[in-house]
Chains A and B, each alone.
Chain A
Amino acid sequence: MSEAQPHQGSPHLRSRAEGLAAALPPLLAQAEHLASTVLLGEHGRRRAGMGDEFWQYRHIAPGDEAREIDWRRSAKSDVHFIRQKEWQAAQSVVIWVDGSQSMRFSGDRNRPAKADRARLLALALSVLLVRGGERVGLSNIGAPPRSGQLQLVRIAEALTESLSDEDYGTPETPGLPSHARAVFISDFMGDMAGVEAALAKAADRDVRGALFQILDPVEEAFPFDGRTIFQSMGGTLEHETLKAGDLKQRYLERLAERKDRLEQLSRVSGWLYGCHHTGDSAQAALLWLYGALERAR
């Protein structure tokens, strides 16, 4: 877009709206498709409780109400059985997707940008969770987590909004419910203080979850040489070198350091840390995320 940011109500509104609508169904469809490869059925809590699904019969014990007796089962024997149902309690999951400029990066024309992969994973995870009966929310929207297909549409809408102007993003968790689950998806290239603060805040509310770092393979390989001026995606940061090839080793060390730090942070606060490269399959990443949420429960 060569012009300045268009205002609401301007003639550009329609084209923007159309662009938005054009991106939405594919993203949702893609996410649904991705999720369908994982989801095999609605999952229960593996214990008796409130719910619709049959869980088990058990002998009546003192304190059980008479109306709980399953007469049809009890008639087959001399003892009375109580029919228990599986506990199906919905969990709240809050997902934060880094919307900063640095996520716009892609090292290759044929590779999706990090932001694209992050959105896809977030939405697919949402689809999975909604199908599992959980409540999902996007911390970017600020609204509390909800369940249902409508929430998916809302999340998708929020994800297709344009990125912020910031160079690097900081996890924001307004209205994070206690005991909820949280997923932070970012490249974690920016300042670590924001991440630490967000994690501390989450730990205070007994929120556990996963830190999911998405990197481009180029960021791992640093295949540069010669005289180069490196700029951040927003252009606020700049570094000039005469021989980029020499910097490779030191850059890789720093990157490994950053990963260690994230790992350590997550371990301390009971979170999980995962790293994903945009060159790899999204499905593996989704599986990991799903598994991480399972474990964190």
Chain B
Amino acid sequence: MWMLGPIGFTAPLLLLGLLALPILWILLRAVPPAPIRRRFPGVALLLGLADDETQTDRTPWWLLLIRMLAAAAIIIGFAGPVLNPQVEDTGSGPLLVVVDGTWADAPDWARRQDRIAVLMEEAGRAGRTVALIQRTELPAGPLEFLSADRVATEVAGIEPNPWEPDPEAQAAWIEGLGDARFDTVWLSDGLERETRAPMLEALEARGRVRVIEGGRPVQALAPVLYEDGEVLLNVRRAVTAGDAELTLDAIGRDPAGTERVLARTEMTIPAGADGAETALSLPPELRNRITRFQIAGLRSAAAVSLTDDSLKRREVALIAGRDDREGLELLSPVHYLRQALAPTADLLDGGLMDILPANPDAIVLADVARLAPLEQDALLEWIDEGGLLVRFAGPRLAASDVSRDELDPLMPVRLREGGRSIGGAMSWGEPRTLRPFTEGSPFFGLTIPDEVTVSSQVMAQPDPALGERVIAALADGTPLVTRRPIGAGQVVLFHVTANAEWSTLPLSGLFVEMLERLAVSTRPSMPTIDDLTGTTWSADHVLDGFGDLHDAETLPGVSGERLAERRFGREMPPGLYTDGERSLALNVLAEDDALVPASWPARIPVEGMSIVRETRLAGPILAVALMLLALDLLASLWLSGRLRGGRGVFAGMLALALLLPSAPPAMAQDADAEGADDALAIAATGEVVLAHVITGDPQLDKLADAGLRGLSEGLFNRTSVEPAEPMAVNLETDELAFFPFLYWPVSENQPIPTAEAYARLNRYLRSGGMILFDTRDADIGGYGGSTPTGRKLQQLAAPLDIPPLEPIPQDHVLTRTFYLLQDFPGRYASRDVWVESAPEDAELADGMPFRNLNDNVTPVVIGGNDWASAWAVDRSGAPLYPVGRGFAGERQRELALRFGVNLIMHVLTGNYKSDQVHVPALLDRLGQ
């Protein structure tokens, strides 16, 4: 290759041809254009007319220049010019491309993919076979080297993972390499980790290793901490570089349920520092809403820090049965509770009726025996909605008759008269210790300190249901803590006092842990392995390598021990894990993790990430040459006077077409479209066909199709309407007039149709067509603009010619076109279905059950009941989606189908059933 600045030539000798250009110039200059012979009677008048003296018989200079340029371009083009040629020696033999593929790669992932693509290209040119591996996802089988073209197609498909390379998997992979020989290019994410050295060693033993590193400095957000009423945000980075300005977003759901940035703070990492910390002070209400913190603009799993219970502060109300005696703090029934809960919960004080409207997370009743009926009802209602009531026994409870003869609604078990005292001065035996917690108890896995003893307790009445309500027991088997669910909430009774009078439990750390397991309090920071032993957690949301949150529906549960290890992988990606009421955020970075930049041995060449793609210029230059030749053709034609008349125009067009090489083949497409139109028309008009609008969301379109298939089957089985397979209608291209009925599911992100499509839609509506708009959100909002799809519907329907609407009146013809219906449920059973409003002057005649309503088919029916889901069946006719529960759900599905039948009947027969002729029969059937 011969270089000229940034341009290299693969065949530089051809450039010698440029020397011939001057000769060509002289030759071309001397040859005038060939004359045209014309028959022309007027020649008799021309005889004797001489040409101007100045007119030479030589080619004009500018035409020569065009031709010279064209010739030069051809010569240069064939000399193979390449911009920024890659001249490094690429070696030979198989090439292994290793990419770390961790979260640290994610911000620069596109560049890494480009770089890999360049490597593939180089390898392809050198004829080397290539393998591509990702260290976070090492292939199980032996290394397979394939052709570079083949591997290049996979590059676009690989994605970074939010976890680190697994040392065991790596060891196994190295083992599986055997004694293969290959060169390696390693795209490193720039972080030091334990797995790097063995990998490097293994690769170096098999060939040359080249490292490509670079891109932006790796930044990561450590788990947020909550201290002294402030949220501490800690950003770390791997490379100490200059000042870095960062924006941190706190993201959560606003009161309307929309996810948005709730708070934002700026921070600066000073030059030379490897991290920085900032504090964010937020009101509790706002803080409890935050689901994650994020470094704005950085797409990486480590730039996201999910929050869990540690940031949430539960509101706990403490209510004691007797007034605190002044000075005797340690004897106060709630003293130890206060001590245990104050660091991690917001405590509420006050009367029960004052506290309940604040809807606390938990209410603790310490030795409260009986509540006023009003309070009891309110409390019950609160528990029913998910409240947690924790009761402690005490002298008062023991002395009362609460829950003795029959179960008190606010008690988990029945109690025996009196209490029992063990190991006191007046009794036998030693104070009892606790029995280890059984599996299934929320306390399972907690270690019981030896010093915890119980000297007095209230006794539970033996009862068939007692066994399952006991969640902690004494060594002799008597219940210590019992629990009973009420509605969505539960009531828990500690059979001892909340102070140290009856037991030493409140003095031990176990007390705090038990409260935490009950979700009365929340843990202050990452739980240790002991805290998690015996629990099973399921992933709620997980992070991908780019830091995007996804639902984790199919992931299996993870044991607490595994969580504590924090060894992320495919089965346990970072994310938010829950166990009942408790939640635990596993972030990519642990609190004490530091980011260390990787340091490579001097023998390893390290290259930057930046790539200069080589560009082959031969194509464009030859194209320019062709265009110049076409221009020359035009100019020559013009010069010789042949660019006139029909043929001249044709030649000109041809030359222009050569100048613009990419003219679309419009004619063929038109012909195709015509054929397709005919086929559609025949298919749509041969039989009755239900149709739905293509929304662009493939899943929704499939649902609509399945729904209409179900409805078609229902019609086929029950009525004389026998529709064919439903069709999908593209509003932009398809003719609508063939379809009596269009189902239009509204999705948030479907495109707004063009003006032409709206014109067609309006024509369709005016000529008797019907559109059923379905916002499919009746479960979360009534009809209106309050939901996203509702707003979208407003946008979609604004240009449509829709008459005034009203909620479907009781005597609308839709209620009796086939079935007698009053409800129009789909998957959801909302009453909000809107149709064209009745005329003002519609009156109820005497003795008639229905008004004499408008004569038309309503052009639109609007609702949000997600009818398609209720109608949807698969190919074998089985319902696709669940509707409601049990028999009631099946009934609802049946009603949905009946609504569909009525709707299609209404579309096809119009106001037929509104006809007064049918009134006697209808009256008879209505039983009036």
Contacts and interface: CB of A to CB of B under 8 A. Distances in A.
A231 B47 contact: no
A52 B512 CA distance: 144
A4 interface: no
Interface stretch (A69-77, A82-90, A244-252, A268-276): A244-252
Interface of B: 32-47, 49, 51-52, 55, 57, 639-642, 644
24 contacts: A189-B41, A189-B42, A189-B45, A190-B44, A222-B42, A223-B644, A224-B38, A226-B33, A227-B34, A227-B35, A227-B640, A227-B641, A228-B36, A230-B40, A230-B46, A231-B39, A237-B47, A240-B35, A242-B51, A242-B57, A246-B52, A247-B49, A254-B45, A258-B45
A251 B640 contact: no
Interface residues of A, number: 38
Contacts of B43: 230-232, 237-239
B45 A231 contact: no
Contacts of B35: 226-229, 240
A105 interface: yes
Contact of B38 (A229, A247, A255): A229
A233 B641 contact: no
Contact of B37 (A222, A231, A247): A231
A105 B43 CA distance: 12
B32 A244 contact: no
Interface in A238-293: 238-247, 250-251, 254-255, 258
Contacts of A222: 42
A228 B44 CA distance: 15
A246 to B, nearest CB: 6
B49 A251 contact: yes
A219 B49 contact: no
Nearest to B640: A226
Contacts of B41: 102-103, 105, 168, 187, 189, 216, 219, 232-233
Given A242-B57, A243-B55, A255 B45 contact: yes
Nearest to B46: A239
A169 to B, nearest CB: 11
A242 to B, nearest CB: 5
Given A226-B33, A227-B33, A105 B55 contact: no
B36 A226 contact: yes
Contacts of B36: 226-229
A75 to B, nearest CB: 69
A68 B37 CA distance: 73
Interface of A: 102-103, 105, 168, 187, 189-190, 216, 218-219, 222-233, 237-247, 250-251, 254-255, 258
Nearest to A238: B43
Nearest to B639: A226
Contacts of A225: 640-641, 644
Contacts of B42: 189, 219, 222, 230, 251, 255
| Most interface-central of B42, B45, B55, B642 (chain A CB within 10 A) | B42
B40 A231 contact: yes
A119 B44 CA distance: 23
A152 B44 CA distance: 34
Question: Most A CB atoms within 10 A — which of B35, B44, B644?
Answer: B44
Nearest to B642: A226
Most buried by B among A187, A219, A227: A227
A34 to B, nearest CB: 25
Contacts of B39: 105, 230-233
Nearest to A244: B641
Given A227-B35, A239-B43, A246-B52, 20 more contacts: A102-B44, A105-B40, A105-B41, A189-B45, A219-B42, A222-B42, A226-B33, A226-B35, A226-B36, A227-B36, A229-B35, A230-B46, A231-B37, A232-B43, A233-B41, A241-B49, A241-B51, A242-B32, A242-B51, A242-B55
Contacts of B33: 226-227
A229 B37 contact: yes
Contacts of A189: 41-42, 44-45
A284 B641 CA distance: 34
Contacts of B640: 225-227
A187 B45 CA distance: 12
Given A226-B639, A242-B32, A247 B46 contact: yes
A172 B3 CA distance: 83
A258 B47 CA distance: 14
A245 B49 contact: no
A189 B39 CA distance: 14
B816 to A, nearest CB: 71
A258 B640 CA distance: 29
Contacts of A216: 41
Nearest to B56: A242
A218 B38 CA distance: 12
A238 B46 CA distance: 9
A237 B44 contact: yes
A242 B641 CA distance: 11
Contacts of A105: 39-41
Nearest to B44: A189
Contacts of A240: 35
A228 B641 contact: yes
Contacts of B37: 228-229, 231
A258 B51 CA distance: 22
B497 to A, nearest CB: 117
B418 to A, nearest CB: 125
Q: Point out which of B38, B40, B55 has the most chain A C-beta atoms below 10 A from its C-beta.
A: B40
A223 B648 CA distance: 13
Contacts of B32: 227, 242
A190 B36 CA distance: 23
A240 B41 CA distance: 14
Contacts of A244: 641
Contacts of B49: 239, 241, 247, 250-251
A223 B644 CA distance: 9
Given A243-B52, A245-B641, A228 B47 contact: no
A1 B252 CA distance: 94
Contacts of A224: 38, 40, 641
Contacts of B44: 102, 168, 189-190, 232, 237
Contacts of A228: 35-38, 641
Contacts of A227: 32-36, 57, 640-641
Contacts of B34: 227
A243 B49 CA distance: 12
A233 B538 CA distance: 100
A245 B52 CA distance: 11
A251 B46 contact: yes
B55 A226 contact: no
A51 to B, nearest CB: 45
Nearest to B47: A239
A137 B37 CA distance: 39
A239 B43 CA distance: 7
B30 to A, nearest CB: 15
Given A241-B51, A246-B55, A226 B38 contact: no
Contacts of B642: 226
A246 B51 contact: yes
A229 B32 CA distance: 14
A165 to B, nearest CB: 15
B192 to A, nearest CB: 78
A251 B45 CA distance: 6
Contacts of A250: 49
A229 B46 CA distance: 11
A27 B513 CA distance: 119
Contacts of B639: 226
A225 B38 CA distance: 11
Most buried by B among A187, A226, A229: A226
Nearest to B33: A227
B46 A243 contact: no
A226 to B, nearest CB: 3
A172 B520 CA distance: 131
Contacts of A245: 641
Contacts of A168: 41, 44
